[in-house]
Amino acid sequence: MADLAAAWTRLQAAAQAAGDKRIVEMFDAEPGRLAALTLDVAGLHLDLSKQAWDEAGLEAALDLAHAADVEGARARMLGGAAINGSEGRAVLHTALRAPAGADIKAQGVPVMAQVEAVRQRMKAFTQAVRSGQIKGATGKPFKAILHIGIGGSDLGPRLLWDALRPVKPEIDLRFIANVDGAEFLLTTADLDPEQTLVIVVSKTFTTQETLSNAGAARAWLAQALGEAGAGQHLAAISTALDKTAAFGIADDRVFGFWDWVGGRYSLWSSVSLSVAVACGWDAFQGFLDGAAAMDAHFAAAPLDKNAPVLLALAQIFNRNGLDRRARSVVPYAHRLRRLAAFLQQLEMESNGKSVGPDGRPVQHATATVVFGDEGTNVQHAYFQCMHQGTDITPMELIGLAQSDEGPAGMHEKLLSNLLAQAEALMVGRPEAEVRAELVAKGIDEAQIATLAPQRAFAGNRPSTLLLLERLTPQTFGALIALYEHKTFVEGVIWGVNSFDQWGVELGKVMAGRILPELESGAVGQHDPSTAALIGRLKV
């Protein structure tokens, strides 16, 4: 621990020293900077050269990773040790995309036979629905799927569908997560129950929001098809066969997964069955293969050439070395527009912890606030703050090197904005340059004195640029696996368990207590504000 404490001290000192330099000037001072800070892995190009660290800062960050034993933690996770200590579980979402013959064990128990059995069931079901072999109650083929889940059972599959969906899908895919009835109404308004398959995703089949929407969907089906017919339009992703049977779902329409798969890491499993059906099995298998390629890189590459490790260390450098508490993720790709929302759960639920596995408070700040949306749209929204605000917010800018979608010339315009923003954030625009421009326009000195400072850009704002060669199932799988492993590395260095989420539970428990009070019962023990609001809102 003494070595780890010393490594933290060195990181903070190096960050403060680098923070006094301009990033753009580091390229001249460090001839090997670009080569050291760019990587090509699994169809992705990662450029970390516009980050705020200098050579000494990068070295200090790598020393910290070694002192925190990232390599040992990586081996324990991939080896199936029970690294989720608070729940006594292994963490093996990597097994879900591994080839069938891989030797992977969860706490010493082989798992790949189970994984492959479920994969083959998913494949067979996908092909049967797409071919029309599995039909609805009236003999019509399914033309739409209604996916019902929340959190990790929703965000990942939504993002996956956006990324891979055909332009004109043979089977449409809709999602419902919110317990707000408006989402159910709007999502089902133009669907035909006779040709809609409902897939309910809930591991325990007890999640309040999901079961509320599942009940509404079953009633919607039964109204059109009768009670017997409704069952032919239902499938589930769950381990609670007694509960799914009670709901009216046949056992052969229930697909399970394992307790060593956390919700936010579950999109590689049967949780994404709806996407596999709507996109086709080949696309889903390609997604798994791309992630497996990133897994192999993460497992074998040395830390200084390891894409997830370097991406994590850039965040550690900003968060802990320079006290930058937020990060913006901006994909210049419409199909990836939900990426920031997905990463909010992946990173903030995983590492938004203030207590370590030993029950003691952590010694350093942990997860950043993640936010973002698609470029170029956000250039006309919050980028003003990114360029000229009082806080410096590191950014990740993500683009596609090549794309054949859309009218000719559109992609080049998108890429020009992506590259320009990364450069502008770093180089800025000096006030002297603005003054010269205003003088050339004949603006009087009094106006220049007030206008020039407003039009100048300080620059020196760090960013990472990540390019996918093309958006394919394989590169998308590699991208998501990259962020999963990045999140894991950060958790190891911060000293938190990245795989539990006790902070989610308290609100659920309290909502369960308040619901009967809103419906009919007397108001229980609450703070004065909550008690007054319950009284006001009681039905």
Which uninterrupted H or E stretch holds 49?
none
Nearest to 54 by CA among 91, 93, 84, 27: 27
**Backbone torsions φ then ψ of 331, nearest 5 degrees:** -85, 125
Q: Please indicate whether residue 140 is annotated as part of the active site.
A: no
CB-CB contact of 398 with 375 (8 Å): no
Q: What is the DSSP string of 335-386?
A: GGTTHHHHHIIIIIIHH--SB-TTSSBPSS--PPEEE---TTGGGGTTHHHH
Task: Report the distance separating Cα 10 and Cα 500, nearest Å.
Answer: 30
Residue tagged active-site, from 194, 209, 347, 349: 349
Beta strand spans in 116-264 (E): 144-148, 172-176, 196-201, 234-237, 254-255
Q: If you search the block for the tokens 């089902």, which residue do you land on?
A: 188
Distance CA 203, CA 86 (A): 19
Catalytic pick among 305, 413, 508, 538: 508
Is the CB of residue 314 less than 8 Å from the CB of residue 37?
no
d(CA 269, CA 255): 9
Please confirm, yes or no, whether 105 is among the known catalytic residues: no
Q: Specify whether 349 is catalytic.
A: yes
Separation of alpha carbons 86 and 84, rounded Å: 6
**Looking at the annotation, which residues are catalytic?**
349, 380, 508
